[in-house]
Amino acid sequence: MIKNITILVFSMLLCSTFLFGGNPDRQGEAGAYELIMNPWARSAGLHTMNTAGIRGVEAMRLNVAGLSRIEGTELLIGHTIYLAGTDIGMNAIGIAQKVGEKGTFGLSIMALDIGDIAVTTTESPEGTGATFSPNFVNIGLSYAHLFENKVSVGVTLRGISESTADLQAFGFAIDAGVQYVTGDNDEFKFGISLRNVGSPMTYKGEGLSRQVEVGGTVSGNTNTLSARGASFELPSVLNIGLSYDFPLSETNKITVLGNFTSNSFSEDQLGIGAEFSLGSVFQLRAAYKYTNDSSESSGIDKRPVYTGLAAGLSVVLPFKKGGEDKFGIDYGYRASNPWDGSHSIAIRLNF
């Protein structure tokens, strides 16, 4: 079993060597960036860097191996005010279900709410009076398995849909992850995940066609010309993380974590974070993410939008005293450059 796990981890690292041969000069060449947006509040409070310790539904957005570390059923509903001031929102729902003693299935759906955009043309650059609203939706189906030696592995198959009234693009991506837990009280955790590996996407539809007159205006003949949309790659990401729990008492602890993120189409990032847990009732967390900035040499700011500080908290209460069914509320804030940061809130049910 250990041999198989070792082979899996080695294979993921080997794949990453080929996937991340690019550099920040490729920034802007990818599409479907909603795949790296995080709608979940708990992990958002740690800048989406808890690769080693994330668990449950949220794991399907960072390291799917953590999906297996729940008991029973978990339902999560989240909303994010994305980059306050842009009027963009993220809505998400996810459910995870334990199957047998070691396996867990999960389903997650995330959609962007971009709002209404005015339709403009060359004849009416100020707007025609009509509006349209783009649709960005992705659906993930996941499975994770926990082995006896405290190693968990997982995989997600994700469908991606982007569309307007007359343009559509569809694609598929695969995520894979591994988590390892060790120590007398499982205090040391290690995780690695490879996300958004898939084939290029291409826009198609009537929006790429236009009517043109043939032979001049006198003939009155028109033809329809169709342009071919250029394909774009998915924003693949490699995350490697470590965490360690420092007990303060029998029920309270502080968890310290570190994370490295390799982005195939932007600068790499390093980060640290900490979470204080008052039993299983209250958690307070904060993190800092640093980006290797090559702006000075290139003259162009290539930093990702999320750098600097993030913070959040969670409150989890049982439905009845001594019961195992629980209700939780999570909040997370991420500073951004520019705009006024992102605010995430989620409602969690465990039963």
Residues 121-139 have pLDDT tens digits of 888 888 888 888 999 999 9
CATH topology of domain 2-206+235-350: Porin (2.40.160)
Task: State the pLDDT confidence band at 215, using cuts at 50, 70 and 90.
Answer: low
Cα separation, 131 vs 173, whole angstroms: 31
Average confidence score pLDDT of the chain = 88
Supply the pLDDT for residue 302: 63
Alpha helix positions (H), 219-336: 295-298
236-264 tens-digit pLDDT: 999 999 999 999 998 999 999 999 999 88
Supply the pLDDT for residue 7: 44
297-309 tens-digit pLDDT: 556 666 678 889 9
Q: Which of 184, 108, 186, 99 is nearest to 145 (CA)?
A: 99
- What percentage of residues in the chain have a pLDDT greater than 70? 87
Peptide bond into 134 cis (omega under 30): no
Supply the pLDDT for residue 2: 47
Which residue did the predictor score with more confidence, 116 or 300?
A: 116
Could you please report the per-residue DSSP string of 305-327? S--EEEEEEEEEEESSTT-S-EE
Beta-carbon count within 10 A of 1 CB: 9
First-to-last alpha carbon distance for the chain, in angstroms, is 31
Q: What's the token pair of residue 168?
A: 């559509």
- State residue 60 phi and psi, 5-degree precision: -70, -10
Supply the pLDDT for residue 289: 94
DSSP E strand boundaries for the chain:
73-82, 88-99, 103-113, 117-118, 131-132, 135-146, 151-163, 168-182, 188-198, 201-202, 209-214, 221-226, 231-232, 237-247, 252-263, 269-278, 282-291, 308-318, 326-334, 342-350
Alpha helix positions (H), the chain: 2-19, 41-44, 295-298
Domains of the chain, residue spans: 2-206+235-350
Rounded mean pLDDT of 82-101? Answer: 95
Supply the pLDDT for residue 228: 85
Supply the pLDDT for residue 299: 61
pLDDT at 99 over 70: yes
Scored b (16 or more CB within 10 A) or e, 190-208 reads bbbbbbbbbeebebeeeee
The pairing of beta strand 88-99 with beta strand 73-82: antiparallel
175-212 tens-digit pLDDT: 999 999 999 989 999 999 999 999 899 999 988 887 77
What's the whole-model pTM score? 0.86
Supply the pLDDT for residue 324: 83
Task: State the pLDDT confidence band at 292, using cuts at 50, 70 and 90.
Answer: confident
Task: State the pLDDT confidence band at 42, using cuts at 50, 70 and 90.
Answer: very high
